[in-house]
Amino acid sequence: MLPLIQKEVVDRRKWISQAEIVDIFAISQSVPGVIAINASLFIGNKAAGVPGAVAAALGMILPAFISIILILLALINLKNNIYVEKVLGGIRAASAGLILLAAIKLGKGILNRKNILGWFIAFLSFVIIALMNVNAAWAVIGGGVIGYGTYLLKWRAK
Amino acid sequence: MIVSYLKLFYIFFRIGLFSFGGGYSMLPMIYQDIQTFGLMSPHEFSNVVALSQMTPGPIAVNAATYVGFQSAGFWGAVYATIGVALPSFLIILIIAAFLNRFKSSPTIQAVLAGIRPATVGMIATAVLFFGKTSIFHEGFFSLSMVRNPLHFVSIPGMIIFGVTLIGATLGKIGPIPLTILGGILGALIL
C-alpha cells in the first residue's frame, strides 16, 4: 500500500517531498497503530492540518469498512451453505501460507545473526503468547522494557 | 446495547494502541480478545482475515468492522473501527508536533529496537493461531500428537497451504490470485 501512497502524494499531487515521505513511512511503521492510517494522518496533517488528517484517515478507512459490510450482508444468506464453508476453508489455508511468508519477510528485516537479543525477544514473545496465552500487549511492553534496559546498561558501561 | 458498543470501542482501542508493525502482528491480540470477551469463535474470525486478503484497506480495519458488525450490528462496526483508528490519530498528531525530537531521541529508538523483535514473535503466533483453523485440527501441539501425527493435520488444508507457499515463492504469484485459488481448491478437495 505504501508505494501507492507515495506515487499519489509525492509524484502526482506534490503535497510532500521525497525526503519527507521516507520519514513519514519510517515513523508510521515505528509507532503503534495501523500503519496505513498512521501514514494517511501524517500526510493529511502536512497537507491541510487536522481536518486534512481526519479526511485522509476516513479515506483510508471507508473502502475497508464498506467492503467488509457488503461481504457480510452477502454471506448472511449463505451462512450454512456447505460450499461457502469449503471455499472459506480453502481461503483460510491459503492465508496461513501468506501469513507465514509475511512472518518470514518481517523476521528477515528485523532479526539477523548478530542480533541475539532480538532473537531472544522474538522467541520469548512467541512462547508467552502462543504457549502461555499471555495477552500479546505484554509482549510489546516487555520488548520495550528490554530494549530500554539494554540501552541503559550500554550507556552505563560507557 | 450501549455497553457492547463501549466494550467494542475499548477492545479495539487497546488493539490499536498496542499494535506495532502493522497488519498481521496485531492478529494474536485480536484472537485473544475475541475469546476473552466472548465475541466470536477463532474459526469465524479466521474467515475475516482470509477475506481481508482480497478486500481493500488495512487488515485491522477489516477486522474491527467485521467483529463489530457481527457482535453489535452496524453501529458496533462503527465503534470498533473508530476504536482501532483513534490511537493512531492521537499519537500521530502528538508526534507531528515533535517530529525531530522523536527521531533523535535515543530512549525512544532503544524502546523501539526492543519492540520490533517482539512483533516478529507475535506474527509467528498469528501463523499458529491461523493454522489451527485451517491446516491443523484440535489438539495440535498436545502429547497425543506424537503417537498419531497425521490425525491432527488436515491433508487437503496442507495441500492448499503448500500450493500457496510454492505459488508465492517460486511462482511469484500475488496474494489475491493465490487466495482465489485457495478458495477454488477448497471447494474441490476440502
Contact list in A for residue B135 (CB cut-off 8 A) is 93, 96
At residue A158, does pLDDT exceed 80? no
Residue A56 contacts residue A40 (beta carbons within 8 Å): yes
Q: Where are the alpha helices (DSSP H) in chain A?
A: 2-6, 18-30, 35-76, 82-110, 116-126, 136-157
Mean pLDDT by 10 residues, chain B (190 residues): 86 90 82 88 85 84 93 94 94 84 84 90 87 76 61 86 93 89 91
Would you say residue B36 lies in a domain? yes
pLDDT at position B13 is 95
pLDDT at position B146 is 62
CA distance A18 to chain B (A): 17
**Which tens digit of pLDDT belongs to each residue from B111-146?**
888 998 998 898 888 888 888 888 887 655 555 556
ipTM of the complex: 0.84
The count of domains in chain B is: 1
Name the residue facing B114 among A50, A72, A143 (closest C-beta): A143
Question: Domain residues of chain A, as ranges?
Answer: 1-77, 78-110, 113-158
Here the cell at position A142 is: 516487555
Residue of B nearest to A107 (CA): B120
| Other Cβ atoms within 10 Å of B183 Cβ, number | 25
Would you say residue B10 lies in a domain? yes
pLDDT at position B147 is 63
pLDDT at position B145 is 58
Would you say residue B31 lies in a domain? yes
pLDDT at position A122 is 93
Give the whole-angstrom CA distance, residue A34 versus residue B63. Answer: 12
CA distance B79 to chain A (A): 12
Domain of B13, in residue numbers: 1-106
| 3-class secondary-structure state, position B19 | coil
| 3-class secondary-structure state, position B164 | helix
**Which tens digit of pLDDT belongs to each residue from A81-132?**
888 889 988 999 998 898 899 889 888 888 888 889 999 999 999 999 988 8
Residue among B159, B184, B190 with most chain A CBs within 10 A, to mutate: B190
CA distance B3 to chain A (A): 22
CA distance A3 to chain B (A): 14
pLDDT at position B186 is 92
Residue B42 contacts residue B27 (beta carbons within 8 Å): no
Contact list in A for residue B160 (CB cut-off 8 A) is 90, 93-94, 97
**Cβ pairs bridging A and B (under 8 Å):** 344
pLDDT at position B90 is 92
Contact list in A for residue B113 (CB cut-off 8 A) is 147, 151
Strand partners, B153: B136
**Which tens digit of pLDDT belongs to each residue from A32-64?**
888 899 999 999 999 999 999 999 999 999 999
Residues contacting residue A30 through CB under 8 Å, at least 6 positions apart: B20, B112
Here the cell at position B19 is: 499494535
Residue of B nearest to A125 (CA): B121
Would you say residue B19 lies in a domain? yes
At residue A22, does pLDDT exceed 80? yes
Q: Chain centroid to CA A92: how far?
A: 20
pLDDT at position A152 is 92
pLDDT at position A97 is 92
**B186 compared with A2, residue with greater pLDDT:** B186
Residue A49 contacts residue B96 (beta carbons within 8 Å): no
Would you say residue B166 lies in a domain? no
Name the residue facing B96 among A42, A54, A99 (closest C-beta): A42
Residue A155 contacts residue B117 (beta carbons within 8 Å): no
